[in-house]
Amino acid sequence: MANYPTVLLGRDDLRNVPRRENLALGGWTNPWHHPTPAVYDPETFFWQDPSQHD
């Protein structure tokens, strides 16, 4: 079975993590035919305060 929804965890200060409503496929983050995160957001995740995450 392809295109099953996956759980995507993110901490409070991890930014730019897509929510279900942000994804065109309604929560599918790993569709088999398309490298989704690399396409819609090439600079994916970042910390709000990087100095706390050395």
From CA 35, how far away is CA 12, in angstroms rounded?
A: 25
The per-residue pLDDT string of the chain (54 residues; one tens digit each, 9 = 90 and over) reads 555 666 767 777 877 777 777 666 665 666 566 666 656 655 667 788 888 877
**Assessment of whether the complete model's pTM goes beyond 0.75:** no
Q: How far is CA 52 from the centre of its chain?
A: 21
User: Hey, what are 45's tokens?
Assistant: 């995740």
From CA 12, how far away is CA 5, in angstroms rounded?
A: 22
Q: What is the DSSP letter of 12?
A: T
Greatest alpha-carbon pair distance for the chain in Å reads 41
Model pLDDT, residue 25: 65
Q: Helix, strand or coil for residue 15?
A: strand
Model pLDDT, residue 43: 61
Residue spans per domain, the chain:
14-52
